Amino acid sequence: MNNFTYWNPTKIYFGEGQIASLKDEIPAGARVLITYGGGSIKKNGIFDQVTAALEGITFFEFGGIEPNPHYETCIKAVEFAKQENIDFMLAVGGGSVIDATKFIAAATKYEGNPWDIMTTFGGAVTGAVTVGCVLTLAATGSEMNPTSVVTRAETQDKLFFNSDYVRPKFSILDPKTTYSLPPRQVGNGVVDSFVHVLEQYVTYPANAKVQDRFAEGLLSTILEDGPKALSEPENYDVRANLMWSATQALNGLLATGVPGDWATHLIGQVITGFYGLDHGQTLAVILPAVWQYKIEQKKQKLIQYGQRVWHIQETDPDTIATQAIERTREFFETMGVQTKLSDYGLDAKIIPNVVAKLKEYNFTQLGENADITPDDVAKILELAL
Ligand code: NZQ
Ligand code: ZN
């Protein structure tokens, strides 16, 4: 196991009715900006719960944050926040709203060109307005991590930044808020959280037994309850277990002391930037292709995963590894998320564009061994057609 430092200051309020706890977290006298997306929170009663909890506190609203949030939209919010002297930002939504709010919070305090925040991957950030969250979609883990992913629509650049300044001070996770999710977003969220675990687990053995067994516990939970969230959308326990799994999948704990792959995520981000696929869709397409391409290097962990999570009874190592990949792909399909580029109307013509963009970002050594080059990415994309 590698050396590590672990620290996570985000306070979590978990469970039904916890939105009311906002009153304990937002300082009296704060000038709060409630940020949200396309309006789902106004239809499902979440906005009303939030404003009821904020009684007596001065708040403003900024809505219209799109999925895969746009830099251009965030900049409008930054202008508004400066004009109104906002000193607290409350994101109410899924990963897109939370990520956008993190960017807005950092950019509001940033003197230079706000795009610097993205091109330095957060290095330029020197402060931020405090962020709190009410999560409405179990998927990204953004509610308990320092990461934000923002797209510049003008140039089709989808990039991420990390900064502890934007890590939420608190996040409220009420599983009931997820009852109103459309099946497509349930599927995306299950695939995303599952792949977050896999990118930190199916690498090479690091003698990290706690992390491995934690990963296997999260994977087994998501596997068990993911399909139930589609068939029983108002099953509280199912929603609760999925929500907590998704948060744990990317709050940094699983990453401690182990290698991370992240090739699937980085390739997927470029595909979304260019072609608009949902984040979960890109992962469902790319992960099985990365694994197929890197099956030799990943074999030991694929076998462990196949045996412990899928309970594959075969004895031949190659068969176990191959079946583990196939079962994973089938699981994504069961969740309604298709696993080939052609399912989304894309073909081999996208390959040069994706490869060129990765080169432009200097993402030329991907994977846990930093050995996936742009040429390898082209071959991976061919496997994903
Ligand atoms: O905009 P509204 O009207 O709220 O509708 C949203 C949106 O259309 C809807 N939705 C959310 N909660 C709902 C709901 N509809 C009904 N009921 C509810 N309770 O769902 C749609 C998708 O929302 P979005 O926030 O885009 O989904 P998700 O949470 O999957 O976030 C995806 C974004 O997060 C980034 C992705 O790249 C993508 O931009 N990621 C962020 C990460 C992080 N910060 O650590 C890591 C991830 O790997 C990921 O990259
Ligand atoms: Zn993800």
Alpha-helical segments (H) within the chain? 22-25, 40-43, 46-53, 71-83, 95-108, 116-119, 183-199, 209-231, 236-249, 263-275, 279-293, 299-308, 317-334, 350-360, 374-383
The CA 197 to ligand 2 mean position distance, Å, reads 10
Nearest atom, ligand 1, residue 195 CA? 48
Residue to substitute in 8, 35, 40 for testing ligand 1 pocket (most ligand atoms within 8 angstroms of CB):
40
Give me the pLDDT at residue 175, please.
Answer: 98
Asked whether the domain spanning 183-383 has the same topology as the one spanning 11-177, the reply is no
The CATH number that domain 11-177 falls under is 3.40.50.1970
Give me the pLDDT at residue 360, please.
Answer: 97
Give me the pLDDT at residue 282, please.
Answer: 98
Give me the pLDDT at residue 90, please.
Answer: 98
Nearest atom, ligand 1, residue 269 CA? 37
pLDDT, one tens digit per residue, over 349-361 is 999 999 999 999 9
199 and 39 Cβ atoms separated by less than 8 Å:
no
pTM (two decimals): 0.98
Question: In the chain, which stretches have pLDDT less than 70?
Answer: none
141 CB-side CA count, 13 A: 23
- The long-range contacts involving 375-378, CB below 8 angstroms and separated by at least 24 positions, are 376/293, 377/263, 377/267, 378/351, 378/352
Give me the pLDDT at residue 242, please.
Answer: 98
CA proximity to 249, closest of 285, 217, 279: 217
**Cβ-proximal residues to 333 (8 Å cutoff; 6+ apart), any chain:** 339
Which residue ranges make up each domain of the chain?
A: 11-177, 183-383
Give me the pLDDT at residue 231, please.
Answer: 98
Give me the pLDDT at residue 16, please.
Answer: 98
Give me the pLDDT at residue 68, please.
Answer: 98
Which ligand lies nearest to the CA atom of residue 142 in the structure? 1
The CA 97 to ligand 1 mean position distance, Å, reads 7
Give me the pLDDT at residue 364, please.
Answer: 98
- Residues having CB closer than 6 A to ligand 1 are 37-41, 44, 67-68, 93-97, 99, 136-137, 139-142, 145, 147-149, 177-178, 180-181, 185, 188-189, 192, 250, 265, 279
Give me the pLDDT at residue 158, please.
Answer: 97
CA proximity to 161, closest of 243, 200, 104: 104
Question: Is domain 183-383 in CATH 3.40.470.10, yes or no?
Answer: no
